Every structure is written in C-alpha cells, then in structure tokens.
Amino acid sequence: MVAKDYPFYLSVKRANCALEVQTVTSPAKETEVLHMLVGGFRQLTTTASLSLKTQNSHLKKTHFSVQIMKVFNYHFRSDSRPDLFSPRPWSRNMPPANTKRRDSKLWSETFDVCVNHMLTSKEIKRQEAIFELSQGEEDLIEDLKLAKKAYHDPMLKLSIMTEQELNQIFGTLETLIPLHEDLLRRLQEVRKPDGSTEHVGHILVGWLPCLNSYDSYCSNQVAAKALLDHKKQDHRVQDFLQRCLESPFSRKLDLWNFLDIPRSRLVKYPLLLREILRHTPNDHPDQQHLEEAINIIQGIVAEINVKTGESECQYYKERLMYLEEGQRDSLIDNSRVLCCHGELKNNRGVKLHVFLFEEVLVITRAITHNEQLCYQLYRQPIPVRELVLEDLQDGEVRLGGSIRGAFSNNERIKNFFRVSFKNGSQSQSHSLQANDSFNKQQWLNCIRQAKEKVTCAGKARVLNSEAHFLLSPNGNRVHQGETTLEQMDQSDCESDCSMDTSEISIDCERMEQTNSCENEKQVETNV
C-alpha cells in the first residue's frame, strides 16, 4: 500500500471495527444498522473522492465491495451461519474461493444398511429412486431460499436494483418454496423409521396439480433473462454478481442458474416418476397411482411449454421496431410460436438478430431504445412459404463483396447459409453466418421444418376447401351450403355427396369430353 492511501485505509478500518462491534439484539435494528452501513460508506466515498481524485473510480468500487461484504456477513450471521465472504481488503485479483459442491446421497448410504439384507435388489433400486425424489426436493428448497437470501434481499437493501426490477427478474420464485416444502413434508411423513417408503403414488397424484402455478413463473423467464442481461451492464450489478460467483455458497453457479433451477426441476419430474415406476412390481398398489401421476405431470409440462412459447413469442413481437408501416406483416402479428432466434452475421460482418416465426423470417438489428433492448427490422419480412434456403460450402462466400475475401482468415468464411426470396418486383438475398457448424445445422433444420409445416398446412387447407364444394350436374361448382332441395333429392341415391380431389379430377375429364368450350373454361377456372 502506498503512503498516500494510508489515511483512507485507516478511516475505512475504523469504520469496519465500529460496525463489527455492533450487536444486533432484535430484528427491529436491522434496517437501522443497514442504513448506517450504507450511509457511512457513502460518506467515506465522498471524503475519498475529494482527497484522492486520481483514484476516484477505484475507490468507489472498493467501498461498494466493502458494503457488499458487510451486508452479507450481517445478513447471514442472523441465522448463525459463518461468513460467506472472506475479507478482501484491497486486492481484486485474488483466486476464487473453493467450490462447495453437493455430495450425492444414496438411500443405502443414508440409512441403516442392515435393512438391505431383507430387501430384493429391485426393491433397493425403488427405494433409491424414491429417496432421490425426496433429496431433490430438499436441494431445490435450499437453492430457492438461497437465491432470495443471497441475491434478492441484499440487492434490494443496497439499492443495486429497484424493487420493481427485482420483482421482474425473480418473478414468483418465492411462492414456489411452500409448494415443494409441502411435498417434502408428505414424503417424510410416510417414511418408516428404517428409512424405507412403501407408498408414494397417492401423494404424487394429490400434489402434482399444484405445479400449474409454474405457469406464471416459466412464462416470465424470457423477460426476466433479458432484464438481467441488461442490468449486468451496470458495474455495481456486475461487481455484486461476480463476488457472489466467487463465493463458496454459489457452487460456481451464477444468478441465472439459480433462477432456472425450478424449470429444470419441473421437466425432470417425468423422468423421476418413470424411474420409480420401473422398479415397482406390477402387483404393487403404487403401480396405478404412478401411471396416473406420470400422465398428470406430462400434461402439466406440455401445457406450460405451450404457454411459455407463446409468452416468448409475444415478448419479442412487442420489441420489434418498424422503420415504415410497409414492413408490418400479418404473418408476424398472427404468430404464436417462435421457432428459433439468435445472432447471425451477414457477409459484410454486420451483426443481425434473426427471428424465425411460424410462417415468416424476420431479419433485424439489435438496438437500445429507452434503455430497453429492441429489434429494428433490417429488411422486409420473408414469408417462409416463398423462402429459398441454400446450404453454402465453406469458402463459397466472398466477404464484403470484394476481393479482400480471398485474403481473409479461413474461419471468417465458414458456416454460411443463404436465404432468398423473390415475389414480382420484390427480391432479397442474405448470406448469413452462424457461430459454428452446430449452430448452422440448427438453423437449417428449423427453417426446413418450418417450410414443411407451412406446406402441409397449405395442402390441408386446399383439401378442406375442396371438400366443402360440390359439382352441379351442369358442371358448375356449388358450395354445400348453397345446394337446393332438388339437388339434394337427386343425390339421395349416392353414398356421399362430397368428393375428394381424385373424384373431382375424374369428373373434370368427363366434362371436358362432353361439355362445350364455354363450360370447359368455367370448370377449369373453378377447379
């Protein structure tokens, strides 16, 4: 430490010592201590900025780091826990703390092993699967509480984010904790003194419907992730999250990993229940209940996936910015599913954000508008039905449209594909580069699948429209709803008054041979 830093070091040290001797005797003093803590360090920051102007930025970050350490240590000491942050006085280059990883627990290792002599191998595997379900609930509850205690509450008390921003990022996470505590309690109640569990199926059938409340949490995740990524641009937020990541309690998981744990747990339930069912005898009372429970959770996951997809699609549609009204397309407005999206580059190196909706491809540029990330349309939307897709070989694209591409790094001319579109006077062609070969293949597969769906849907609409029409005796095409009573009487002897496309084509051939030229043109036009 240099000599000119010594007076400031003493002032901070005295403040730390004064705060450390504080003894909190009641929860009512929590707010008072935190206000004193934050206010004290703000005052120190102001003093330091006057005396050490050349190191103003560094000192502010240092003061903020000390605030973080003190609030965390105070907040977790209230639960008689050890300090989660070791003192980091002035060095920001210290190695990260050791990772605290959970040890995997087995049922046979947790309870008395003597019971294993009375159980078959299949029954032991069943008990292991049931214990894994219970242990997973316990770990989930711990992580959800940690996310609130170690991230949400300190960021709110340190004013790192506003309460509204934190509510958007964390969503309804706090309401999920009682749900899983309820299941854990039920599983523990039916566990015998020797650690074995006889029946769990009826518990799961009664509890699983409450997972419908995951609907709002999962639907909010797209907006939550976008806001969190945007807030990371704030150095105070970034510094806080980095120090959490370097602390033992995080297990090298960032905040989003904790926020995504509930969704990961939700999609894991079908696998856990199938594992229990696989080791359950056919004559066991749990057999029927487990099958019912699997059907329940599969239905819940499928429904939440649909609603989450619709929420994601709506979120990005609302953030599209149109340079002119002519860029608006009903195919975008009517879309309910976002097949895929991500960042791609064109052959000039311009970064583009491409959205593939159900029936339209939208190429945009990411911009910041009113401190929000938005997407400005780069070109006219391309209908998937008329889109032409080409898989380009490495080296086939010339960068920048000039000879400089011949002397470019080979990595710059890899993983390209081309999308083009032509309709009358309108035409577009874009050579797009993915990050790697895997990402490129994903885009190719998604676009091909979208084209197949659009083509199949178009054929289905044609068949349905043809099925609603009849050919009258004089060769005119008449809608079923417009048939007269006479026509209905004439068709009573027929087995089916509607015809498929093969029947229509046969009738057309007959009429072409017998009808006049005028009727021929009329039939051809109608068909």
What does the domain layout of the chain look like in residue ranges? 104-318, 321-397+413-464
C-alpha–C-alpha distance, residues 320 and 366, integer Å:
9
Q: How confident is the model at residue 102 (pLDDT cuts 50, 70, 90)?
A: low
What pLDDT was estimated at residue 465?
59
In tens, the pLDDT along 193-208 reads 877 888 999 999 999 9
Count of CB atoms situated within 10 Å of the CB of 403: 9
C-alpha–C-alpha distance, residues 418 and 401, integer Å:
15
Q: Does 8 or 294 have the greater pLDDT score? A: 294
What pLDDT was estimated at residue 46?
43
Q: Which residues contact 202 (CB under 8 A, 6 or more apart)?
A: 289
What pLDDT was estimated at residue 198?
87
What pLDDT was estimated at residue 325?
86
Lowest mean pLDDT among 68-77, 120-129, 198-207, 335-344: 68-77
What pLDDT was estimated at residue 264?
93
> What are the angstrom distances between the C-alpha of 367 and each of 223, 329, 349, 374, 381?
16, 21, 17, 5, 18
Residue of 20, 12, 95, 17 lying closest to 60 (CA atoms): 12
Q: What is the mean pLDDT of the chain?
A: 74
C-alpha–C-alpha distance, residues 196 and 114, integer Å:
12
Question: What is the CATH superfamily name and number for domain 104-318?
Answer: Dbl homology (DH) domain (1.20.900.10)
C-alpha–C-alpha distance, residues 44 and 151, integer Å:
25
Q: How far is CA 331 from the centre of its chain?
A: 23
73, 16 contact by CB (below 8 A): no
C-alpha–C-alpha distance, residues 238 and 55, integer Å:
20
Residue 50 clears pLDDT 60, i.e. is over it: no
What pLDDT was estimated at residue 117?
56
Q: Does 61 or 222 have the greater pLDDT score? A: 222
- Identify the CATH class of 321-397+413-464: mainly beta
What pLDDT was estimated at residue 297?
96
What pLDDT was estimated at residue 105?
72
C-alpha–C-alpha distance, residues 426 and 266, integer Å:
46
Residue with tokens 């309804």: 172
Bridge partners of 477, per DSSP, are 471
Average pLDDT estimate for 75-101: 39
C-alpha–C-alpha distance, residues 271 and 262, integer Å:
15
In tens, the pLDDT along 381-390 reads 999 999 999 9
Could you tell me the end-to-end alpha-carbon distance of the chain, in angstroms, rounded to an integer?
A: 90
144, 137 contact by CB (below 8 A): no
Are the folds of 104-318 and 321-397+413-464 the same? no
